[in-house]
Structure 1
Amino acid sequence: MIRVGTGRSRGFTARRLGTVFLVMVGAAVTLTACGVPLIPTLDPTDTPTALPSAAPVPTPTPTPSSVPSPEPTGGPGSPGSPGEPGAASACTTDRLSFALQERPADSGAGSFFWDLSVTNSGAVACTANGYPRVQLVSADTGQPIGAASGLEPRAAPSAVLLQPGDSAFSLLHLTRAGVYGCPLIPVTELAVTPPNTDQSSRVATPNPIDGCADPAIQLARTGAFAASPVVF
């Protein structure tokens, strides 16, 4: 038995497929005729362009002017600036020469004044700073007598830089031994000890004076070194 309905359906489907194919072919021919390529092509001369890569940043090379110089550091014994008191060490006895000068205009009945001068006799600068110590010396025995000097407050302490040949001055205030009623001893020298040292030097007095045998009696006071003699 022949099924007429089935054969008709197949034939109809075949015709529809043929029609669709013809439509697609026609569209392709039309697009080609208009200059539109169906598949994009790559020109042989075209080459892929590489993406630019980040250029390395050069590291700057330090120049001598940009490199910081190390700061000089001080240490023990480092010299100071020329002309400053801190640039020189303290004057010692072996680097000084000593002298005593009278001040008759400033002397009275019970006391009198002398200027003690110290001169830098060395080859380099040194500093005189503070109060010297003096003690009367017996002209008979050559030994110190009485009490060591106290402090004379008329001049405030200050550092005095002494270049070779320069001098500093200390005001000496002395009391006459006769006012104490003690046994008198002739004196023609003073033992002078500069500050910051233990070494003393003998200095001749401008004129003979009397000392006191009592070790508790203080006949001399010294002022701090200054660049010039004290003016009353």
Structure 2
Amino acid sequence: MLKEWQHRRAVQRVKPGDGRELKRFRWWQSFSRALFHLRLTSEDGRQTVYAVDVKHQGDSSGHVRAHLYLDGRHHAESKVPAAFPVPGGTVEVRASGFGLKRCHYVTADGAEYQLVPDPASAAGHRARLDRAHPALSRWIGFVSLAVLTIGLVVLVLQLAEQVTRSPEGVAQYIGTFTSPVDLPAWGNTVLGLCTGVASTERALRLRYNWLLDGGVG
């Protein structure tokens, strides 16, 4: 019920496009822009190409916007989370603090298909690595997951220590807790950078977990 309401709200936010031409992806936009493509074939065999273009930094009002292009022309736009009606279903777009966490074509019967990243984008390079070197790709994914798990554990331990040592905290009821991991300031900085890199790598593959990726954002 909640998902249906959220979907209707997202569809209502969609505004018509202005017909401008889709700009090519440039290498310096690798971590500031996402571009994904979807090819659909109609019943009469005619093929159309949709593109989802998202700039991660947001607009002047601070909102991240997704732009939908049809055959290279601006067709629609919406704040994210976005739901663009297309033939046979909907293109759903959601963002995280490190990129996109969802860019999928959802058919009317509920089937989901991830859109294809532009070959020139960072997500496109990551997808190419996955195809060319699947073992290395899985290892990188495992390292990213491990780094985020370690970061979450350290964060929970440090928070528990701070809460139990606070004069207004719960120490008077359960006693104090001393974290077994005591990182210096530079260690916390390095760990924070590593978790940021790990979440960015996962965002390139549209992988997201509210506890791991959301916890460091």
**TM-score, normalised by the number of residues in structure 2:** 0.20
* Structure showing greater Rg: 1
Looking at both structures, which has the greater relative contact order when contacts are Cα pairs under 8 Å and sequence separation is at least 6? 1
- TM-score, length basis structure 1: 0.20
